[in-house]
Amino acid sequence: MNEREIKALVSLLDDEDSEVTTLVEQKIRSMGSKIIPFLESEWEESFSAIAQRRIEELIHELQLSVMIERLTEWKNGGAIDLLEGMWIVATYQYPDLSLEKLQADVNQLYYKVWLQFKAEMNPVDQVKILNGEFYGSMNFGANTKSFHSAANSMINVVLESRRGNPITLCVIYLLIARRLNMPVYGVNLPNLFVLTFKKDKVQFYINVFNRGIIFSKTDIDHYIAQLNLPPKDSFFQPCSNLEIVQRVLRNLILSYEKAGEPEKIKEVEQVLIAILDENSFED
C-alpha cells in the first residue's frame, strides 16, 4: 500500500460500523512495526478523539510485538548482553529509549570506578572500592519508599533517579563490575536478588540493596532456613542473563498487580512466556 492508501485506511478508524473498524485494525496490525511512524503522524493530525484512541491502542500493540520479537531474538542469540536485555524490558514503558544512551551512561559509571581500581587488589578490596563509588559519589541506593513501583524495573529510570529495587541495582552494579573484569554474577534468592564474587576457590556474596554488604554461604543457609525452604543450588550459584531478565519481568508483573493494572499484567506475562524455558527459575 502507498501512503495515500494507508492514510485512507487510517481515516476509517472512527467509522460508526464496528465491522469496518475491526477490519481496518486487522489490516493495520498486519503491516507490522514499520507503520508506527505513520500512525504517530496521523495521531497528531487527527481531530477525532475516537480515532486518536484507536491509533494509540494500535501503536501500543505493535510496540509490544516489537518488544517480544527483540527479546526472543536476544534469548535465541544466547542472551549475551545483559544491558541489551534490560533495555528491551524498559522499552515496554519507554519505546523510544536508546540502547546507545544506556551504554554511554553505564560506561560513565565504569570510568569513575576505574580511576581508583587496581586489578591486583584482593577481591574484598575491589568490592570496597566499587561500593565506595556506587553508594558514595554515584549515590545509588534502595528505593524503600516506592519499593513496588514499576519504575524500579526500568533501568533507565534507576540510572537517572539512583534509586531501585534489589535486582535492578544489582544489574547496574554487575554491569560496572563486568567492565572492570571482576568475576561477579547474579544469584537468585527467594524474595531477594544478590550478587556473588566467584573465582577459583574464592566465593562470597554482595547485598547491593543493603549498601554492598559482603556475606557468606552460611548467611544464605540461615536465610533459607528462616524461610523454611529446602536449599537449592540456584540459591548459591550464579544465574544466567536470561534468568535475570525473566526475574525482572516477574517483578514488573508484581508491580502491576500491586497497582491494580490487569491489562499490563497480561501484556508482561505474554512477554515473559515468550522467553521462558523448562529451566526457568520460579520465585
Q: Per-residue pLDDT tens for 117-139?
A: 998 999 999 999 999 999 999 99
Band of pLDDT at residue 44, cut at 50, 70 and 90: confident
Residue 187 above 60 pLDDT?
A: yes
Per-residue pLDDT, 282 = 42
Which of the 8 DSSP states describes residue 115?
A: T
Q: Per-residue pLDDT tens for 200-252?
A: 999 999 999 999 999 999 999 999 999 999 999 999 999 999 999 999 999 99
Mean pLDDT value of segment 138-167: 96
Cell numbers linked to 155:
533501568
Per-residue pLDDT, 278 = 56
Per-residue pLDDT, 279 = 53
Which of the 8 DSSP states describes residue 11?
A: G
119 versus 275: the higher-pLDDT residue is 275
Mean pLDDT value of segment 168-190: 97
Euclidean distance between the first and the last CA atom of the chain, given in angstroms as a whole number: 47
What is the pLDDT of the chain when averaged over all its residues?
92
**Beta carbons within 8 Å of 200's beta carbon, 6+ residues apart:** none
Per-residue pLDDT, 76 = 97
Residue 281 above 50 pLDDT?
A: no
Residue 49 above 90 pLDDT?
A: no
Highest mean pLDDT among 4-18, 61-75, 266-280: 61-75
Residue 197 above 90 pLDDT?
A: yes
DSSP string, 208-259: GGGTTEEE-HHHHHHHHHHTT----GGGTS---HHHHHHHHHHHHHHHHHHH
Per-residue pLDDT, 54 = 84
280-283 contacts, C-beta under 8 A, 24 or more apart: 280/243, 280/246, 281/188, 281/234, 281/239, 281/243, 281/246, 281/247, 283/190, 283/191, 283/247, 283/250
Q: For 38-42, 45-49, 94-98, 106-110, which range has the lowest pLDDT when averaged over its residues?
A: 45-49
